[in-house]
Amino acid sequence: MLDDEVLFALPRSGSGFKYYLRLANTVGCIDSDYYDSDNEGHIFVKLRNEGKKDLLIDKGQGMCQLIFQKYLLADGDDFIGEQRNGGFGSTDK
């Protein structure tokens, strides 16, 4: 993952119709500092089953789609502060 990229986790379009399944935070945003962090680059997806029946997701079954996107910074948007290590929940620091 390049420094000027972000990875978006989006729900698969059919999941909402078939299973009433969605990502808990609607869209996941993974920064480039997440890669090579203490979590070894694992990506966790929190799902919500809003249907009335149990749903089993088998290993390897598609549940969301991941899309890389380049981004730009505004002029003068320099980071000032403690360096983050990235990884799960790192934006809470």
Beta strands in the chain (DSSP E): 5-11, 21-23, 28-30, 47-49, 64-70
**For residue 75, is pLDDT > 80?**
no
| pLDDT value, residue 43 | 78
Domains and CATH numbers, the chain: 5-74 (2.70.40.10)
Q: Calculate mean pLDDT across residues 59-72.
A: 87
Q: Which of 45 and 76 is assigned the larger pLDDT?
A: 45
Residues 9-63 pLDDT 10s: 888 777 666 667 778 877 888 887 776 677 666 777 888 888 888 888 888 888 8
| pLDDT value, residue 64 | 85
**For residue 90, is pLDDT > 60?**
no
User: With contact defined as beta carbons under 8 Å apart, do 9 and 45 qualify?
Assistant: yes
